[in-house]
Structure 1
Amino acid sequence: MPGGRLTQQERQQIALGLADGLAYAEIARRLDRPTSTITREVMRNGGPTAYRADLAHRATEHRTRRRQAAPRGPKAPPQPEGRDAEAVREYEETFTTVLMGSGMPKMMSRVMACLCMTDSGSLTAAELARHLQVSPASVSKAITFLDSQGFVRREADEGRRERYVVDEDVWYQSMMASARAIAQVVGIARQGVGVLGPGSPAAARLENVARFLDFVSESTARAAEQARDILHTKPETIPDSPTPANPL
């Protein structure tokens, strides 16, 4: 499997594959590249609908020049569990770009990916700023957004510091927050029906919006409740080899 950076020709093949509606895995197979490489390439360069090979190639060259010109930071600390530091870095970047593709802003995506990848599930603002090499103000803004969306919570740490925590049921909390936000849209849409007059085309449109989103909100909340137990169920471990039978 070839390594190194993507070539301009490969980026053109990615663009053609996206235009043909191919999945990332299929594009990766045709280029003999990891699927994560294709995912990261597309998501960091506009997403599947806005990806352009020429712009992506120029953006990569610009990032490379900027990285080479930047002063070298401290050496990355050794990874726990014998993890490959480069593989972890690449995965964090891919995770971030996928979160961005879902609509989450860049800094919020970086903070969320960083928190999810810590074994402790929590970090302080200083730890996040140091790892991401950003200002504490940027971290604070990202945390405020993530907290409002139910992705993280705050807890007191030593002194006056706070720790930012990703709970095991973070995705449940996020889904419930989304359902509540949709329910608010339902309410305002139904309010508009009364204001605009039940018989008007605009009111009919808003009523349809309300009915659709009401169904989505209730279905989302119901599905999240039903699936919540999965988050607290440890996956079964598969033994490396079958246990030998007792001799007769």
Structure 2
Amino acid sequence: MPGGRLTDEDRRDIAVGLTRGLGYAEIARRLGRPTSTVTREVGRNGGPRDYRADRAHRATLRRARRRKSATHHEPPAAVGAEGRDPVAVLAFAEEFAGLMVRMGLPRMAARVLASLVTTDAGALTAAELVGRLRVSPASVSKAVGYLEGLELLHRERDARRRERYSIDDDMWLRTWLTSARTNAMLAETAERGVEVFDHATPVGARLDRMRRFFAQLADDMSGGPSTDVVAVLGALVRTVTPEGADRLAAELDWPPDRVAEALRDAEQVMR
């Protein structure tokens, strides 16, 4: 029935449809299900590239067992360590991780990031991640290293000298700026290629189209500031005095350390 649970056969049909390149809406139509059901099923089980019917079925059984355990053993007033339904939190974390996988993150890195995003503190120790994700410490370490390279998290030591991995509110901005700088570098490289091959040649024309595309993309992502604006901002960043930084912190109601870090990031962007 359209409103019932997905069966093992439904999941095999979903896997076949994904292999054939069918969209979620078409797969849902063939199953007689809402498109949202197929979207949610695929998103929480690895995304369109990694979806496997047998693995999705086992994951569903595990979630059902956890849900049953929570129903029978948790008192109604305590639905989670942070006051939330643990089943709903887990489902959202899986959905978030699936989205990150579709955007290009490795599966384990996506799961680590989802765990941090869905934790109030935005920070977890390696042991806590191993326990939550039920994977080896080596898997967590590799995923953390990957995310650290993208500047999506950073390491710190807690009072017990344990290494903690944390995210902050500025991580998406840093990722955006990094992408903008990467696009600008691609445009500059393509421009040098045009000079080497000559604009009139097929290779030169192709590289020039590449140059224009990435230059426009970099401008759009960075807001497209003029050269004069960039120069002025760069000069302001370099000439901010300690007293000026303190006034800026007071104006923004930020801690001084956050202002100092923002100024350093801005100086990197202006280079």
Q: Per the shorter chain, which TM-score range? A: 0.5 to 0.7
Aligned CA distance change for structure 1 residues 179 and 111 (closer, same or farther; 3 Å): same
On the 8 A contact 1:10/1:31 being kept in 2, the answer is no
* SS in structure 1 of the partner of residue 25 of structure 2: coil
RMSD across aligned positions (CA): 3.9
On the 8 A contact 1:39/1:94 being kept in 2, the answer is no
* SS in structure 2 of the partner of residue 83 of structure 1: coil
User: 1: CA distance between counterparts of 2:26 and 2:92?
Assistant: 19
User: 2: CA distance between counterparts of 1:190 and 1:117?
Assistant: 43
- In the TM superposition, what is the alpha-carbon distance from 1:46 to its structure 2 partner? 5.5
* SS in structure 1 of the partner of residue 155 of structure 2: strand
- In the TM superposition, what is the alpha-carbon distance from 1:201 to its structure 2 partner? 1.2
Aligned CA distance change for structure 1 residues 138 and 10 (closer, same or farther; 3 Å): closer
% identical aligned pairs: 35
On the 8 A contact 2:177/2:222 being kept in 1, the answer is yes
* SS in structure 2 of the partner of residue 177 of structure 1: helix
Q: Which residue of 2 aligns with 1:19?
A: 22
User: 1: CA distance between counterparts of 2:47 and 2:175?
Assistant: 25
User: Equivalent of 1:57, from 25, 29, 53?
Assistant: 53
User: 1: CA distance between counterparts of 2:11 and 2:60?
Assistant: 18
Q: Which residue of 2 aligns with 1:174?
A: 175
On the 8 A contact 2:199/2:205 being kept in 1, the answer is yes
Residue 149 of structure 2 corresponds to residue 148 of structure 1:
yes
User: 1: CA distance between counterparts of 2:83 and 2:187?
Assistant: 50
User: 2: CA distance between counterparts of 1:164 and 1:90?
Assistant: 22
Q: Render the CA deviation track for 1:101-122: whole Å, top value 9, x for unaligned.
A: 1111101100010000000011
User: Would you tell me which structure has more helix in proportion to its own residues?
Assistant: 2
User: 1: CA distance between counterparts of 2:56 and 2:24?
Assistant: 24
Gaps of 5+ in 2: 64-72, 225-251, 253-271
- For normalisation by structure 1, the TM-score amounts to 0.68
Q: Render the CA deviation track for 1:194-227: whole Å, top value 9, x for unaligned.
A: 222333211111111011111111211229xxxx
Q: Which residue of 2 aligns with 1:31?
A: 33
Letter in 2 for 1:145: Y
Q: Which residue of 2 aligns with 1:87?
A: 88
Pairs aligned (count): 209
Matches within 5 A, 1:93-242: 93-158=94-159, 160-222=161-223
* SS in structure 1 of the partner of residue 199 of structure 2: coil
On the 8 A contact 2:97/2:110 being kept in 1, the answer is yes
Letter in 1 for 2:53: H
* SS in structure 2 of the partner of residue 140 of structure 1: helix
Range with greater deviation from structure 2 (162-171 or 115-124): 162-171
* SS in structure 1 of the partner of residue 209 of structure 2: helix
- In the TM superposition, what is the alpha-carbon distance from 1:66 to its structure 2 partner? 10
Range with greater deviation from structure 2 (85-94 or 200-209): 85-94
* SS in structure 1 of the partner of residue 223 of structure 2: helix
Letter in 2 for 1:19: L
* SS in structure 2 of the partner of residue 190 of structure 1: helix
Aligned CA distance change for structure 1 residues 169 and 5 (closer, same or farther; 3 Å): same
Q: Render the CA deviation track for 1:54-73: whole Å, top value 9, x for unaligned.
A: x8434445667999xxxxxx
Aligned CA distance change for structure 1 residues 132 and 220 (closer, same or farther; 3 Å): same
- For normalisation by structure 2, the TM-score amounts to 0.62
User: 2: CA distance between counterparts of 1:45 and 1:139?
Assistant: 17
Aligned CA distance change for structure 1 residues 221 and 96 (closer, same or farther; 3 Å): same
Q: Which residue of 2 aligns with 1:71?
A: none
Aligned CA distance change for structure 1 residues 181 and 156 (closer, same or farther; 3 Å): farther
- In the TM superposition, what is the alpha-carbon distance from 1:8 to its structure 2 partner? 2.2
Range with greater deviation from structure 2 (176-185 or 7-16): 7-16
* SS in structure 1 of the partner of residue 200 of structure 2: coil
Aligned CA distance change for structure 1 residues 21 and 118 (closer, same or farther; 3 Å): closer
